[in-house]
Structure 1
């Protein structure tokens, strides 16, 4: 079974911010530490502004984000038709740092990845995992989170671990790492690709597949909304999440990485995760 990017994560949420640990100082040292932090923050903000000034984006004054808004809690659509989620809020925070208006284009997951490759979007954010294959056709930001691939099965299923998927029909979302891993491990004929996670889960409910492999956070949302389904305790794979960009756009990559570093340092990224995922 594939196990990649083994890094610490919150078992309850399956997602943590990939940030450096910050330690507090007491006594008179705290004043100096505060002053140093202010200087560092000002320096980082200046660097981000300088990097943003050199940007050429798909549409002037905008940061165009390609996503698949059917993947809660990363990206989803409200009843009012607005977009929300971890990736949506993170992209908005980055756009704010860069002084750009965020433009969100919703499409299939595969199309979102192609969109940046073809120069139709500046960034792709849809719970995108960094893989060697994807690095051949697109560039990535620094990792901003880590997560896991999980397995959903019906209650009473004889599937208790990833190894038990052998000989079963597995549902996944088309183009995702869940699809890639399962195809590699069990063969293309054992995997059914659906346009989104919800459709895969509906197929599981209908008995068309024996299990669904998908990211842990949306997996928990789907299980909560579908009585009779359970999430296995054993994960299928662990992986890093990053922002996809077109090959060779160094200015954008540098600007996005600078913004991410500031958002990690000031706690914004962790607050976004905490907004959508609470520890149980």
Structure 2
């Protein structure tokens, strides 16, 4: 299904199930919806699930501009398209940050915020160096190949996919790297290509945002917020502590044996934590 944003951009979206609406915001920036395993879990628990590819990503029209405000407006366009007054908003990774910004801008349209595998509201410098070390360790014996691909100024589509699969394999928990590679391959299938311009522009913008201002704004949120972490996420989970402390109505669930995509590795526990109540 195609949703038209307020500036005419075409956004891919899909609705499944009947019940309380849950809208999903995928990670990135510059990636696409990877919730094909999560959506049926939530439908089974009585949710109407809305999936969509963010502007310029996946099956949506590859066109800018790329900004947090533009992304927030696109969420609102999808919500209105499906005729929903309010939704549970679930965001993963970058999508968790985006969902938070939407909740701050439009609290009247969010009944509950589910913040999954995010990196908080503090500066990247607080968590990124540790993340890089864990990423390199997680890639393991294929690190040299990943470094070679990442250092190239130009890559073929196949090389870009290979680089991403190697990098994403570090996002899964446990010592079985063969299993991690298989799960990363599944994430990359079908392959839509990373929008690196979108990634660069939005990341540059979020790095300039004031932690103090975000902390103060979060203090005004009244809807319930659930923070969900995988205990083995390579992004340090203490990066989220300041966000948790800023929110007045928050609970936190940490899933053992799960990395950055906890619904893939602990599906039943994840669905129990985030399904409509």
Q: Do these two structures clear the TM 0.5 threshold for a shared fold by scoring above it?
A: no
TM-score, normalised to structure 2, is 0.29
Larger radius of gyration: 1
